Amino acid sequence: MAVTSLDEVRRIYDEAADSYDRMMDEEIRLPIYDQVLNELATKIHLVTGPVLDASCGSGHMLQRIQQEYAPGRLLIGIDLSPRMVGIAERRLGPSAEVFEGDMRDLAQVSDNSCAAVINFFAIHHLDAEDLQRCFHASNRILAPGGFVLIATWEGEGEFSFDGEFDPVTRRYTTSELADAAIAAELGVMDLSVQVIGDMGIDAVLLWAAKASVSASAS
């Protein structure tokens, strides 16, 4: 069973953009977002450049970064869905640049320019080959000392949620994510598995850096 094509994923999220936006009004207050955004702000304190959300959706994470964690930091949002981009533009206003684009190449962004790349619950739309492209693209745009933060559903093989957002997607194990990051010449800093709300499936959090650092897992 192959993952759903990104053209179909784009169509699904275009059609569901308004309800997704409303869902994120609640989800963005889950403790995991406070945890990781606070840590992100600490890590990038001495790193110049924007924070890029490579799957920005409705712009909720960038909004919280701007309002609560890194006021004044340049922000960039990229998303596959034109309707999501429109929602994010309205939410963020002049505090961010938002583009329609692809996490596998991040073609709108210059090399060595970003303090951080975040990518939350989107790489499950990528097969293993495209995941590798995504990691390479993230490394390309990171400034020296910059960070990658990725969250995705933990597990093995393809799966699908029932309901409005139900394309065939792919879960990744901690070792698969670590291997993909290392192959893209990113230094893995930390891997953890966490429970996300009451969704019934765990998430993997990966921190990696442009410079090579010691790997650890929990």
- Side chain identity at residue 153, one-letter code: W
DSSP 112: T
Which of 41, 198, 61, 35 has the alpha carbon at shortest distance from 119? 61
> What pLDDT was estimated at residue 56?
98
Q: What are the structural domains of the chain?
A: 6-209 (3.40.50.150)
pLDDT at 167: 84
pLDDT (0 to 100) of residue 195? 75
Dihedral of alpha carbons 79, 155, 19, 66, sign: negative
Who's near 13: CB < 8 A, 6+ residues apart? 20, 57, 80, 81, 83, 84, 165
For residue 1, what pLDDT is reported? 66
Instruction: Please tell me the predicted confidence (pLDDT) of residue 196.
Output: 72
- Cα dihedral 118/122/128/132 (nearest 10): -20
Q: Which of 216, 209, 174, 213 is nearest to 194 (CA)?
A: 174
CA distance 80 to 2: 19
pLDDT, residue 89, reads: 98
- pLDDT score recorded for residue 112: 96
**The predicted structure's pLDDT at residue 217:** 39
Q: What pLDDT is recorded for position 163?
A: 57
**What pLDDT is attached to residue 149?**
98
- The pLDDT tens digits along the chain (218 residues) read 689 999 999 999 999 999 999 999 999 998 889 999 999 999 999 999 999 999 999 999 999 999 999 999 999 999 999 999 999 999 999 999 999 999 999 999 999 999 999 999 999 999 999 999 999 999 999 999 999 999 999 999 888 766 555 788 999 999 999 999 999 999 999 999 987 766 567 899 999 999 644 344 33
